[in-house]
Amino acid sequence: MKNYKLIHIIKNALNTNNFKNIIFFIFFAIILTLILASKYIFFQNLINNDGLSKREIVANKTIEVVDAFKTEQLRKEVAQKVDPILVPAEDTYIMSNLVSLINNIKLIRDNQDINEAEKRTRIDIMLDLSDAENKNYVINFFISSSDDMFNTVTNWSKNVLNSILKEGLSEKVFESNNINKIIFKHTQQNYSKIQLRVITALIEQVIRPNMIVDELATEIARKNASNSVSPYIVKFERGDKIVYQGEPVTKVKRDALRKAGYNVLELNYIGLFGIFTYVSISIFIFLYYLYTFDKKFAKRSYFLIIGMLSIVLSIIGTIIPDNFSFYYLPVPAITLLLAIFTNGRVAMFVSVLLIMGLGITLQLPSENLVLFTCISLISAIAIAKIKYSRRVDLIKSGFEIAASMIAIVFIINLIERCVIDISPTILINDLIACTITGISSGILVLGSIPILESLFKVITPFGLSELADHNQPLLKRLQFEAPGTFAHSLALSNMSESVAEAIDADPVLTRVGALYHDIGKLKRPLFFIENQTYFGIENPHNKLNPRLSKMVIMAHPRDGLELAKEYNLPPQIQDFITQHHGETLAAYFYNEAIKEEGAQNVSKDQFRYSGPKPNSKETAIVMITDAVESASRTLKDYTVEEINNLIQKIINDRLTDGQLSDSPLTLKDLKTISSTLNRLLRAAHHKRIKYHEDIINELEKKENFNPILPDFEQNNNESKKNDKT
């Protein structure tokens, strides 16, 4: 017994709508994951786990690929050959050091308080000379030379040092050359051997490199040299083998395979789980948004449309070859379709999630993601501006989208050119792709709408515009078989549309729903008073008892539903047919039954419509407006007070009777509906004053007035006289 209860509980849980929805979304997530991962799975079938080709692959066309590794090597070699760029450093301290050295030697030389040996010792300490013989010659010169000779040689040393510093002395030259060679190169006259030794000894003590490396200029020069190196191209002629069976698939081989049309992306089980996780999170985010902000689209039919379009976009994204421009992806067409079947917000939300998913899983460049995100927004805005009665506006929106895509590609190209060089061929191919994608989006959407409407039983504003055509078979029948009902439906549709616009409901759906709400009266048109006057017949209800009359009258929603299904009217229009009376009481026949049978023998439930109650703003509007429009014909005086009292009574009756309990109308909406209907009824039932005959009578009283009436006025007056006669 316990097992039976457990099985029963599990069975009930499995049959709940929530569980079915969860299963549906999990199944959809798996399907979308497999589609997005199909490129990776294909490559894993081509290459084994060791990175070796499973089969031989031959080039089907001439393929040129860049060997990035060799190109980079060549560029590094060229860059390394560029010598560092040297710039003069601050070198005044070198000359000042020489001057200080000479002055110190002169002080020792001129000092009379020390002997020659002490002078020799001090000068020896000051000069760092390794060659002993040369040291003796130099010290002897500093001590024993005349003042004129000392000053002359030291001045020569200054001139030689100045010449060396002006030319510049790099670290490399300083280390690789003997100082004697450098000094000899810059001597401008013949010096004696001893003089040359002294000059060399002095300069040797202070000379330092005065040229330093300009790191920035050197780096720029090396980059320019590196960029000047042409890419190393590997060429495969048609018929050449790209890879042999068992050969390692290098990066160059992968690039060649990509250009040959093969996918070269890899994916392991962790990556597959990552894609599934992203898809699941995206679905959850979308559902959370939908149930929070646009709950009216949280229906299975809309889920099926959104799911199917998502799958179509994902399939196209995965089958586009890598050597094709990805701008052929029909994101604008999908966004337009989503916006038409739902609204711009939902379309934008779904499109962005799909673009992000494709970008992550297919590793699309950032410029593609930027373009498609911008175009999704533009497409959602463009669809809001079109007139649904003019299908050509869709084609125009396609041209607008194409122009927008071209402009965005140009902007992206200008930005990228500041960083990298872009081939003009790639830009031209992208512009062609944008033009084709944009223009074709409007055409594709125009052709897809009827198919999707028929497949998923969801009506769009374009379909509603078609249904509003009075040449539709059902409306044509209503016009000829039940002309009074048709006139009522026509007036109701105009009033309901204005009311829907006032409270931000769907005016097109409301208008069309009002046109078809009473088509059930086609089955027995003469039993409804609005048609009896037209055909000039006696009211047949006079010969029927109230219960039978009630059955005939209250059957018209059910009869209308049968006709709607027969003529394939969408479910949204069928709701107007079944809900425009809700579960209201047929008060007239109820009161007549009480008169005949007594109040104790009559129940209100027996005289109520079968419903259901209105569950949307649009159907609730038609219920209220239908009652107001019909009841307004019974008024004797169409004053503001009379009309207002009638409208308030009908709205209050519907509220107290609970007929609006399932609709999303607010008290503010009801107040707006009341004021709008009041204005519309006053406009429809305005009064006219007699002016023609009164004016003529007044003029006839005036002296010498004999008006000459046009023939049509004379005929009109004669006909009136005949009528009076």
Q: Is 338 helix (H, G, I), strand (E, B) or coil?
A: helix
Which range (173-182, 194-203, 349-358, 446-455) has the least confidence? 173-182
Half-sphere exposure of 483 toward its Cβ, with a 13 Å CA cutoff?
Answer: 6
Question: Is the N-terminal amide bond of 507 cis, ω within 30° of 0?
Answer: no
**CA–CA distance, 616 with 8 (Å, rounded to integer):** 36
Residues belonging to the chain = 725
In the predicted model, is pLDDT for residue 724 greater than 50?
no
In the predicted model, is pLDDT for residue 354 greater than 90?
yes
Strand partners, 248: 52
Q: Count H helices, E strands: the chain?
A: 33, 6
Confidence of residue 218 (pLDDT cuts 50, 70, 90): confident
How confident is the model over 486-492, as a mean pLDDT?
A: 94
Using alpha carbons, select from 519, 488, 483, 527 the residue that is nearest to residue 633.
488
Using alpha carbons, select from 95, 102, 93, 100 the residue that is nearest to residue 153.
102
- Is 663 within 8 Å of 617 (Cβ atoms)? yes
- Enter the DSSP assignment of 230: P
DSSP H helical ranges for 168-294: 171-176, 179-185, 193-206, 215-227, 251-259, 269-293
**686-718 residue pLDDT tens:** 666 555 555 555 555 554 445 444 443 444 444
User: What tokens were used for 519?
Assistant: 């088509």
> 92 or 442: whose pLDDT is higher?
442
Confidence of residue 42 (pLDDT cuts 50, 70, 90): low
User: What tokens were used for 258?
Assistant: 């990509």
Confidence of residue 264 (pLDDT cuts 50, 70, 90): low
The CB density around residue 299, as the number of other CB atoms within 10 Å, is 13
- Enter the DSSP assignment of 363: T
In the predicted model, is pLDDT for residue 307 greater than 90?
yes
Confidence of residue 12 (pLDDT cuts 50, 70, 90): low
> In the prediction, which pLDDT does 13 show?
47
In the predicted model, is pLDDT for residue 318 greater than 90?
no
Is the torsion defined by CA of 23, 24, 26, 30 positive or negative?
positive
- C-alpha Rg value of the chain to the nearest Å: 49
> 391 or 214: whose pLDDT is higher?
391
> In the prediction, which pLDDT does 240 show?
80
Q: Is 242 helix (H, G, I), strand (E, B) or coil?
A: strand
CA angle, 51 as apex, 48 and 52 as ends, to 5°? Answer: 70
Share of the chain above pLDDT 90, in %: 35
* 531: enclosing H helix or E strand: helix 529-535
| Chain-centre distance for alpha carbon 671 | 38
| Residue type for position 664 | P
How confident is the model over 98-103, as a mean pLDDT?
A: 79
Is-above-0.75 flag for pTM?
no
Sequence-separated (6 or more) residues with CB below 8 Å from residue 579: 611, 612, 613, 614, 615, 619, 623
How confident is the model over 509-513, as a mean pLDDT?
A: 95
**CA–CA distance, 235 with 255 (Å, rounded to integer):** 11
How confident is the model over 556-572, as a mean pLDDT?
A: 93
Is the torsion defined by CA of 100, 106, 109, 113 positive or negative?
negative
